[in-house]
């Protein structure tokens, strides 16, 4: 009875677990075998890989993406001064054990990353600029509330207070207008603009009330006066004359 031979396993360089070959197969002999141990130069670093000889350069790029974070489509692999196609195998390109390759990033990828970095920088600056304006408006809003309390209490306020505070708010409005923003920062800027405009409108209303604190009361008195005149004089401002009454009395006396 033939017993099936138990298969042995061994760990290859790079951490790959494979079946152990029979004696004479030369599994450790990379020149005759299934794997290449290669070095890839990327910037100031050298990356070591153990990869099957039948792998393509596209397969190698996938491994490089895990190590570098650079997507395969953004990679350029060079061997012996020539850029290699993704479909070409390592064996076809003439790679051997301990061969060296050069990895470079495509210019389009660099430009895209630079553009993304620029946009992120602009967004960050917009956030910071809006935050500074918001802090200043918060301080000015407290002064607006103080003036509103005074006017509502009937306290006379110097007109310069309204003018100066309005001008300070307009300065913040101009600052918001100079901030270039897209997306969420743009929405925040719009909200802050409306907030400042609301305070300016409120100050304008308070200024009018402060200049004429009894304006509404005067209208009430005028209406009351008209109604009193209507009751006693039938729409006339001249009180009823007593001469007609006297004359009537005289006529009755004559009649008798």
Residue 138 tokens, joined = 């918060």
Question: Distance between CA atoms of 191 and 73, rounded to whole angstroms?
Answer: 41
Query: Which class would CATH give 111-211?
Result: mainly alpha
Per-residue pLDDT of the chain (256 residues; tens, 9 = 90+): 444 444 455 545 444 545 554 443 433 444 445 899 999 999 898 999 999 999 999 999 999 999 999 999 999 999 999 999 999 999 999 999 999 999 999 988 888 889 989 999 999 999 999 999 999 999 999 999 999 999 999 899 899 999 999 999 999 999 999 999 888 999 999 999 999 999 999 999 999 999 887 765 444 433 333 433 334 334 433 344 444 444 444 444 444 4
Q: Judge contact between 97 and 49, C-beta under 8 A.
A: no
Distance CA 147, CA 134 (A): 20
Dihedral angle over CA of 183, 188, 190, 192, nearest 10: -170
Tokens of 217: 């009361």
Q: How many CA atoms lie within 13 A of 99 on its CB side?
A: 21
Domain at 10-105, CATH class: alpha beta
Q: Is 225:217 a contact under the CB 8 Å cutoff? A: no
For the chain, give every domain's residue range.
10-105, 111-211
- Give the distance, in angstroms, between the CA of residue 204 and the centroid of all CA atoms in the same chain: 32
């Amino acid at each position: 009875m033939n017993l099936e031979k138990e298969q042995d396993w061994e760990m290859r360089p790079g951490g790959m677990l494979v079946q152990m070959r029979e004696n004479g197969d030369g599994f450790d002999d990379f020149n005759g075998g299934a794997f290449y141990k290669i070095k890839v130069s990327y910037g100031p670093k050298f990356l070591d890989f153990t990869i099957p000889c039948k792998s393509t350069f596209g397969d190698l790029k996938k491994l490089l993406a895990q190590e570098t974070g650079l997507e395969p489509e953004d990679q350029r692999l060079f061997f012996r001064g020539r850029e290699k196609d993704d479909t070409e195998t390592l064996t076809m390109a003439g790679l051997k054990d301990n061969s060296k390759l050069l990895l470079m990033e495509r210019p389009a990828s660099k430009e895209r990353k630079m553009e993304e970095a620029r946009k992120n920088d602009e967004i960050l600056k917009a956030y910071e600029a809006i935050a500074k304006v918001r802090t200043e408006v918060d301080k000015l809003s407290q002064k607006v509330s103080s003036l509103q309390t005074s006017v509502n209490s009937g306290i006379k306020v110097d007109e310069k207070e309204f003018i100066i505070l309005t001008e300070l708010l307009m300065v913040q409005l101009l600052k918001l207008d100079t901030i270039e923003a897209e997306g969420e920062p743009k929405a925040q800027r719009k909200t802050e603009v409306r907030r400042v405009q609301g305070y300016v409108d409120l100050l304008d209303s308070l200024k009018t009330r402060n200049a004429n604190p009894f304006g509404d009361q005067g209208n009430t008195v005028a209406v009351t006066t008209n109604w009193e005149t209507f009751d006693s004089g039938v729409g006339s401002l001249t009180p009823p004359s007593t001469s007609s009454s006297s004359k009537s009395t005289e006529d009755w006396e004559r009649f008798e």
